[in-house]
Structure 1
Amino acid sequence: MSVSSTLSGFSDNLFPNATAARSVPAGCSVISSDNTSFVPWDHPDTMVSHEAEDMTLRIKCAVILPLLFLIGGPGNVINMAVFYKQGLRERVNLCLFALSLADWLYLLQAIFYFGDQIPLLLTTGGRYGVMTITMTNYNLVGLFGFTWVSQVISAIIASERCLCVLSPLSSQRLIKTRTMAVVLSSVFVVIVGLYFVVAARYRLGCVYDPGSGKSLVAAVDSEFYTQHSALINYLDGFLFGAGIPVLVMVVVTTTTTITATKIRQAARWRAESSASDAVRTISPRDVALTKMLIGTSLLFMVCVFPIALFRCVCLFLPEINPGRRHQNLYFTCLWILDVLTYTNSTFNIFVYYTMGSRFRRTFWELFRRQKTKKAPSLPTIDLEISK
């Protein structure tokens, strides 16, 4: 999700009296002074109507996102608790803990930002609520950067597992847990920090459309953007738009394919009672863990591949972009693809539980421990027998 995907440029008619007055309200920017021009969301050649785009947004925000958050919110907290109990001194536990943290923060940010759609649907039917406007104008949209943190960490996990399978001894010697902790911390800081720069592109404010005579709350370019437009366009359009999704997709696909091939070879050689040194260096525990992580990689590829493909299409077809002829198509596709990012951040817990025997054991240990803590203790009564 780029920052432009959170702001479609079309919004509520919060100033209905402006229609009759046909005057520009104080503090409003004018969209266009030419009444023959078409605003992007009402272009005559658009492939998707604004009504269809708006309905897609509302279904995503008011139905699908809350449902997935009810699963993914607690699910990622449980993931973090399990991997913390297993020990963050183990490199793979540290990586999976960081992935769950990034997914949880992303879902939390999304429910705060888009959750305004739920009461608005039941009341005014508007598009931007107080929380959305506040988070946009105070640059908190930068927290959406956690979705790219999640993608990069997924690529790191797939690469780490591939190295462990190809050369277990070298991986232990070259990649220390402390080194991985520094790498993961840097990913959080750098990616989210850069996305805060991108998020400063827009502010939600009053704009006036002379063609309809209406005043709207819509996304307008910030003063920061006018001063640093080249940098922000590069970060938003290339790095976050296509660069990171495409790169991590290539890395995860390549490393997962190599890892899966190596695991199949190991299983076949064991069945044939091979004494290969390569086989002996892959422990059964590592094989089980690797299969579980291959499962998470497959979920990642299914969810991220359509996003990476769409980003590449937008680079080569500029009319499918915000502010252009097919803006409604652009945002309709993004709202649908957002569901895939929520799915990727939600369902890892089921992969871990289904394919990870150690995860299952720790999971139930946590719940048994909590049950034991909550069990009331019976009061003891000391009886003194007098003779």
Structure 2
Amino acid sequence: MYDGTGIPPLSLTLTHVASVFSNAAMGYGSWITAIISVERCLCIVYPMKIKSIFTVRRVLLLLMIILCLQLCGVFPTYATMQLGYAKSPDTNKTTLVLTWTEYSLHVESTTLFATFTVPSLVCFTIVVICTTFLVIKLNQTAKWRKTTANTGSKQDGNISSKELRVARTVVFICTIYIFCFAPNIFTITVMAMLPNFHQTDPYLGNLTAVCFMIAYPLQSVSSAVNIFVYLRMSTKYRETFCRLFCAGKVKE
């Protein structure tokens, strides 16, 4: 990946810079998924109180606080970087490069831990627990409805049809998240347990690289497919999306 001058190309260093923000953005997405899954669980546990617990103002404030914390975690890394010119001793060619200070590696590791590793581990655990709870409740409701249908009872269930559709959508979203983030959680856990599990290690370097090659594309898939899932499974979301972006195609 070098151009023969002994200096890494600017495009490579800029890609590295962008990855810092990308990791923070994926960490923020993990928090959002966790909040949605918790909200759905509380809808089932406290159906009469959920609107007073998850108000629009509180959710918006929570999301803004998390966003600020994620961005604050990124700034120290960028503060240790600077653009400058470097001359290759072999070709005498001057190239614009990105340089780091002596504290950059430590700051970047701390940033990655705070904005990506911790959110990934915490949110993954929350989503797994909440998704398991939702699946159990959905199965119980399905069995209850089958029983009442056989007995001819017309009593309402604990969960309305609308709530069931929303819960199924959230379960599907969370399942995609769990599947796509599982390789990343595995990689993070192994790296914490085995210090040698690193790309620079002569024995485990190739295996580490393969794990990252699988984990990062799957994380991108998790972030990209949500909009299509909501368009397919949520009528209200689809109508709102068409009203905003396909106004000419919406029938009044």
Question: TM-score range with shorter-chain normalisation?
Answer: 0.7 to 0.9
For residues 82-231 of structure 1, what are the structure 2 equivalents within 5 Å?
128-130=9-11, 132-134=12-14, 142-144=20-22, 145-199=24-78, 221-225=100-104, 229=106
Matched, 1:264 2:139: yes
Residue of structure 1 in register with 2:92 after alignment: none
SS of 1:342's equivalent in the other structure is helix
With a CA cutoff of 8 Å and minimum separation of 6, indicate the structure with the bigger relative contact order.
1
Residue of structure 2 in register with 1:345 after alignment: 223
| Contact preservation (8 Å) 1:143, 1:196 | no
Deviation per CA, 1:245-274, whole angstroms, max 9, x where unpaired?
121111001001101211222232233236
5+ residue gaps, structure 1:
1-10, 17-27, 29-126, 210-215, 374-387
| Contact preservation (8 Å) 2:124, 2:178 | yes
Residue of structure 2 in register with 1:291 after alignment: 168
The whole-number CA distance in structure 2 between the counterparts of 1:172 and 1:301 is 27
The whole-number CA distance in structure 2 between the counterparts of 1:307 and 1:267 is 34
| Contact preservation (8 Å) 1:353, 1:359 | yes
Letter in 2 for 1:197: P
Moved more, 191-200 or 161-170: 191-200
Q: TM-score, normalised by structure 1?
A: 0.53
Aligned residues: 241
| Contact preservation (8 Å) 1:242, 1:312 | no
Residue of structure 2 in register with 1:117 after alignment: none
Residue of structure 2 in register with 1:314 after alignment: 191
Query: Which structure carries more helix by proportion?
Result: 2
Classify 1:133/1:153 alpha carbon distance in 2 versus 1 (closer, same or farther; 3 Å): same
Letter in 1 for 2:173: T
| Contact preservation (8 Å) 2:183, 2:211 | no
Matched, 1:13 2:3: yes
Classify 1:159/1:186 alpha carbon distance in 2 versus 1 (closer, same or farther; 3 Å): same
The whole-number CA distance in structure 2 between the counterparts of 1:217 and 1:322 is 27
| Contact preservation (8 Å) 1:207, 1:218 | no
The whole-number CA distance in structure 2 between the counterparts of 1:186 and 1:365 is 30
Letter in 1 for 2:193: F
| Contact preservation (8 Å) 2:13, 2:98 | no
Match of 2:130 among 248, 252, 255: 255
Classify 1:298/1:204 alpha carbon distance in 2 versus 1 (closer, same or farther; 3 Å): farther
Classify 1:294/1:185 alpha carbon distance in 2 versus 1 (closer, same or farther; 3 Å): same
Residue of structure 2 in register with 1:356 after alignment: 234
SS of 1:358's equivalent in the other structure is helix
1:371 CA displacement: 4.0
Q: TM-score, normalised by structure 2?
A: 0.78
Letter in 2 for 1:289: V
5+ residue gaps, structure 2:
90-94
Classify 1:260/1:247 alpha carbon distance in 2 versus 1 (closer, same or farther; 3 Å): same
Letter in 1 for 2:213: W
Letter in 1 for 2:174: S
1:147 CA displacement: 1.1
CA RMSD of aligned residues (A): 3.6
The whole-number CA distance in structure 2 between the counterparts of 1:207 and 1:152 is 44
Structure number with greater Rg is: 1
1:221 CA displacement: 4.3
Classify 1:319/1:267 alpha carbon distance in 2 versus 1 (closer, same or farther; 3 Å): same
Letter in 2 for 1:359: Y
